[in-house]
Structure 1
Amino acid sequence: MTTLLEARYRTVLRLLPAYYREAREEEMVEVYLWDVDQETQDQSRPTLGEVASIAALAVRSRLAAAGAPRRYALFGSAVRNFALYAVLLQAAAVVSDEVLRVTWSATRGLREWDLFLTGFTGSGPLPTVVAVAGWVLPLLWTVGFFALVHDRRRVARAAVLLAALPSLWPVIEPLVTEWPMSAPYFVTANALFAWLPALAVCAAYHRDAPPAVLPVGTPGLAFLACCVVTGGSVALLPTMADLAWAPATCFVLAALGWLLLRTRRAESGVGSGALALAVLGLLILAVRTASLILWIGLPLPAVYLAGAYAQATALTLLVLVLAVVARRDLAPR
């Protein structure tokens, strides 16, 4: 006879995917009921710890690796690829941007350097803490990337979560200061661009997941190449550079290179790579679009608007192509 506690456990276990329940549900129910007195089972409930553990297992089993049904294995691979590519892009964009800022300020005379330092020290304790955190914490994207490719998963999770924190300040600022939120579309898109990769790292690189591997090259070479592209896109066309310019440029070139590489060699799991790039491109397109909305009605140079619209168009076309490739590669065989 099924007790109320057993029914409650089975209800919670429905969080797990069907393939996992078929293999493990009976065993798990037996384990949960093993030391619970039969007479008290109708008055008991699963503990919060047990529910949280099952929820975490549900995420892990849906982002599965080897041994899972094909769609779960490919979905898990896509999320891991998305996390790896996004963290690499964030790391390169941050490092190149901060190097360029320091170089510009240090080579333009004492006035520019004093102006740079005043951004950290001239506005009171809270703005100073926020400015320093906004400068230092994003550098942890680089720590997260190299920790990920060297299979230091706890370090990678901690690093990317800390690196994403500054993106929340524009949301928190209106709650603790008198300044209203400005540019809500851009703030939301930028926060998603930071937090979705960070959460993907935490969820998809679980203990059963395979190590992070780039499709081509070594991690150091890939990071250097991305830094050169993001920094070069700003240095060569400084009038075009807003927060979306460098990441979008790097993504466009990297995605085109990936598509070219795909045509030249067969690669296992290529469908998951296409899906990962399509989602990442969609996120960058959201940031690009939000930045364009931010400048509507302002007297900007025609060359700036032309470049931004051209970049948005290229991103849109690439996302569509990658989505078609992913759909074809992920189709049942």
Structure 2
Amino acid sequence: MTGTTTLLEARYRAVLRLLPAYYREQREEEMVEVFLGDTDRDLQDQSRPTLGEAASVAALALRARLGTAAAPRRYALLGSAARLFALAAVLLQAAAAVADRALELTWTSTHGTFARDVFMSGFTGRGPVVATAEVAAWVLPLGWTVGYFALLRDRRRTARISVLLAALPTLWPFLAPFVTDFPPPEPAYATAAAAFAWLPALALCTACHRDAPPAELPVGTPGTVHLGCCVVMGASVVVLPAVADSVWAPTTCFVLGALGWLVRRGRRGRTAGGEGALALAVLGLLVLTLRVAAAYTWLDVSMPLPTAMVAGFAVQAAALLFLTAVLAVVGGRDLAAR
């Protein structure tokens, strides 16, 4: 650009500061010329960037920071870690939803009329709003599985839509008191459960952009890995039903999966980078938060908790804390070594 800088150009450049420095160095002048191209110079001091233009720059800034073909190493690593976190978290959510519903249907079909009546009572007799919400809460989480397989088949749009729909039921506890006579939720657990769903969903939507490489598992095939996680979760509940709460199965699966990842890494030597370890460390921190929040809700129970349940919660929390710390250290060392 030549001549005096107009107010509109200054405003455009201020918006472009959302972009990382490496991207601005390559494209800023070209982008400013494109933005100013359709605006008469005499009107540029009375104009400002539109909301759509600012939103498009913000989206581009997010993609540029989460790894593109020309991104510097730190942005490439950040994008890779975010995509691995999203894939691992979506897998955990997908297996948990399938295992939970498989166990519920198995119990319903094997315990006679009483079990069927109990199952159906969750969807009937409480009005259309509650019935719709309960059906959605039962069906929509299966979208995690759809999103998982869609992501690994590089169907990114389908994956994004599926995981966003799957995460919606975690908002119902916050909305229910406004439209029903339900009491407010226990804030710690409801918030942790929402974060456990929405952070992976948002990570998938932002990190798996069109310029990102396709997602792929570090080991196994998508179906085998998903089935294995479902079996581990189901078995953890069947073997120890007395201590199993809503967080027990996914926590057990994460602990075993993280241990397996560390053992495999140790046998193969140092990996190419620490993105995988850091992604699992972030996921472990989320699971730990959910584990502690779920255990905290039991403090309101009037009767003392069984010793086995308290011990189970404590063992899981300790294992999560230890693994999260180890994964963070391993990831940091791998990245520093590069």
Q: TM-score category by the smaller chain?
A: over 0.9
Once the two structures are superposed, residues 213-239 of structure 1 have per-residue CA deviations (whole angstroms, 9 ceiling, x without a partner) of 111011011001100111111111111
Question: Structure 1 residue 324 and structure 2 residue 329: aligned?
Answer: yes
CA distance in 2, matches of 1:194, 1:211: 22
CA distance in 2, matches of 1:325, 1:221: 27
Match of 2:26 among 5, 23, 31: 23
CA distance in 1, matches of 2:46, 2:293: 53
Q: Which residue of structure 1 aligns with residue 293 of structure 2?
A: 290
Give the TM-score taking structure 1 as reference length: 0.98
Match of 1:315 among 302, 320, 328: 320
**2:292 touches 2:317 (CA, 8 Å); kept in 1?**
yes
Shift, 1:241, TM fit: 1.2
Q: CA RMSD in A?
A: 1.2
Shift, 1:332, TM fit: 7.1
**1:121 touches 1:128 (CA, 8 Å); kept in 2?**
yes
**2:265 touches 2:271 (CA, 8 Å); kept in 1?**
no
SS at match of 1:296: helix
Shift, 1:106, TM fit: 1.0
Question: Structure 1 residue 280 and structure 2 residue 273: aligned?
Answer: no
Aligned length: 333
CA distance in 2, matches of 1:184, 1:166: 16
- Report the identity percentage: 64
**2:271 touches 2:334 (CA, 8 Å); kept in 1?**
no
Shift, 1:269, TM fit: 4.7
In the TM superposition, what are the counterparts of 1:1-333 in structure 2 within 5 Å? 1-266=4-269, 269-296=272-299, 298=301, 299-331=304-336, 333=338
Once the two structures are superposed, residues 269-322 of structure 1 have per-residue CA deviations (whole angstroms, 9 ceiling, x without a partner) of 541101100000000000000011111253110000001111000000000001
Shift, 1:13, TM fit: 0.4
The letter of the residue matching 1:75 is L
Once the two structures are superposed, residues 138-180 of structure 1 have per-residue CA deviations (whole angstroms, 9 ceiling, x without a partner) of 0110000000000000000000000000000001112222333
CA distance in 2, matches of 1:32, 1:269: 41
Where has structure 1 moved over 6 Å in runs of 4 or more? Answer: none
CA distance in 1, matches of 2:5, 2:332: 43
Shift, 1:69, TM fit: 0.8
SS at match of 2:210: coil
SS at match of 1:189: helix
Shift, 1:268, TM fit: 5.3
Structure 2 residues not aligned, in runs of 5+: none
**1:65 touches 1:77 (CA, 8 Å); kept in 2?**
no
CA distance in 2, matches of 1:58, 1:266: 35
**2:270 touches 2:334 (CA, 8 Å); kept in 1?**
no
SS at match of 1:249: helix
CA distance in 1, matches of 2:43, 2:270: 56
Give the TM-score taking structure 2 as reference length: 0.96
Once the two structures are superposed, residues 46-67 of structure 1 have per-residue CA deviations (whole angstroms, 9 ceiling, x without a partner) of 0111000000001100101433
Structure 1 residues not aligned, in runs of 5+: none
Shift, 1:68, TM fit: 1.0
CA distance in 2, matches of 1:268, 1:46: 45
Taking a change above 3 Å as real, the CA distance of residues 332 and 12 of structure 1, as seen in their structure-2 partners, is farther
SS at match of 1:112: helix
Shift, 1:266, TM fit: 4.8
Q: Which range moved further: 177-186 or 5-14? A: 177-186
CA distance in 2, matches of 1:190, 1:268: 32
Shift, 1:181, TM fit: 1.1
Q: Which range moved further: 297-306 or 150-159? A: 297-306
**1:74 touches 1:269 (CA, 8 Å); kept in 2?**
no
CA distance in 1, matches of 2:191, 2:295: 14
